[in-house]
Amino acid sequence: MFTFSKKFNTFEKKLYIPQFKIRFENKLVFSTIDILSFYREIEPDIPSTTVNWRVYKLVDNGIIVRIGRGKFKLGKGSFYFPEVDNRIIRINKFIKEKFPYIQYCIWGSYSMIEFGHHIPKTNIIFVDADRDSTESVYHSLKEEYRDVFYKPGKDLLSNYINDLKSVIIARPLVSEAPLQIIKNVPTITIEKLLVDALVDEEFGFLKGNEIIHVFENAFERYILNISKMIRYSDRKRKKPELLQILNNYNLAAYQDLLP
């Protein structure tokens, strides 16, 4: 019977892991075609179906991570999981009971703190809900909680909300927004956080160098799916804004992922 270490050694030998890492260690992004070429240099007659299986095993074991359609990087960095605190859990329970069939997500502005220098002290809980349900969600939350707002404009944000300790903002959820489930709560992914931070009025304080700082920190610390970011920004009709920041601020290592 194999021990775990023997199993992994067999796995390494079968997929040529040491050689694979050396081949791609200086490539930030590589493609399925690059992987196919690597294996065919070693085994010229290897079928593409076998290479596809190896790609699956490489991803499954964390050797590489998928960052776009047919695009990969070596498994450095970690996946982003925002904090889901007790207040978010309570709000989630309330919404599930009131609106069991809608799509929504809940997240806190404190998720921005690790990425930026000048994040306002106000704790904002965002409740992004189906466009047709947003107003109903807002009215229900307003009956249960203090300081609840529906799509506040720039003036209200800068002149009033930022002086409060904690608020809830109900906003429309863009269809096909990239979400994840944490502690049974539908919440944001890093891709949604970055696109929202770049283009939404609620994050008007992230201007100039500050938004660049947010993006650079996120790219340095976490695994991102650039294709997913681009699709989401397109759904929000803000794709040019995202492409500009990716092109202009040396996130251009991902250039071959851009349209």
- pLDDT tens across 216-227, in order? 888 878 888 888
Please list, in sequence order, all residues whose beta carbon lies within 8 angstroms of the beta carbon of residue 42, skipping any fewer than 6 positions away: 16, 19
Q: Which residue has the higher pLDDT, 4 or 197?
A: 197
With a CB cutoff of 8 Å and minimum separation 6, the contacts of 90 are none
58 plus 91 within the same structural domain = no
Is 166 a member of any domain? Answer: yes
79 domain-assigned: no
Mean pLDDT of 232-255: 78
Whether the Cβ atoms of residue 221 and residue 78 lie closer than 8 Å to each other: yes
CA distance 148 to 5: 55
What total number of domains does the chain contain?
A: 2
Distance (Å, rounded) from C-alpha 244 to C-alpha 124?
Answer: 28
Same domain? For 240 and 174 the reply is yes
Same domain, 60 and 116: no
Position 212 scores a pLDDT of 87
Residue 81 lies in a domain: no
Residue 37 CB contacts under 8 Å (≥ 6 apart), including other chains: none
d(CA 24, CA 49) in angstroms, rounded, equals 21
Let me know whether 35 and 8 are in one domain. Answer: yes
Q: What is the pLDDT of residue 165?
A: 73
CATH label of the domain that carries residue 57: 1.10.10
- Residue ranges with strand state E in the chain: 30-31, 64-68, 71-74, 104-108, 123-130, 148-150, 166-173, 179-182, 185-188
Taken in order 83, 89, 90, 96, the sign of the CA dihedral is positive
- 18 in a domain, yes or no? yes
Q: What is the pLDDT of residue 155?
A: 61
Question: pTM for the whole thing?
Answer: 0.75
Q: What pLDDT, on the 0 to 100 scale, is given for residue 252?
A: 46
Query: What range does the domain containing 39 cover?
Result: 4-74
Task: Give the mean model confidence (pLDDT) for residues 199-205.
Answer: 84
- Per-residue CA distances from 73 to 76, 178, 219 (Å): 8, 20, 13
Instruction: Answer yes or no: is pLDDT of 210 > 60.
Output: yes
Residues 101 and 223 in one domain: yes
Shared domain check, 223 and 163: yes
Query: Residue 191 has what DSSP assignment?
Result: H
Q: Do 179 and 127 meet the contact criterion of CB atoms below 8 Å apart?
A: no
Number of CB atoms found within 10 A of residue 115's CB: 23
Instruction: Look at residue 154 in the predicted model and tell me its pLDDT.
Output: 66
The answer as to whether 198 is a domain residue is yes
Q: Are residues 64 and 118 in the same domain?
A: no
pLDDT digits (tens, 9 = 90+) for 134-185: 999 999 999 999 889 888 766 666 655 666 677 899 999 998 899 999 999 9
131 and 243 fall within a common domain:
yes
In this structure, are 17 and 144 located in the same domain? no
Separation CA 56–CA 148 (nearest Å): 45
Residue with the larger pLDDT of the pair 121 and 128: 128
Confidence of residue 84 (pLDDT cuts 50, 70, 90): very high
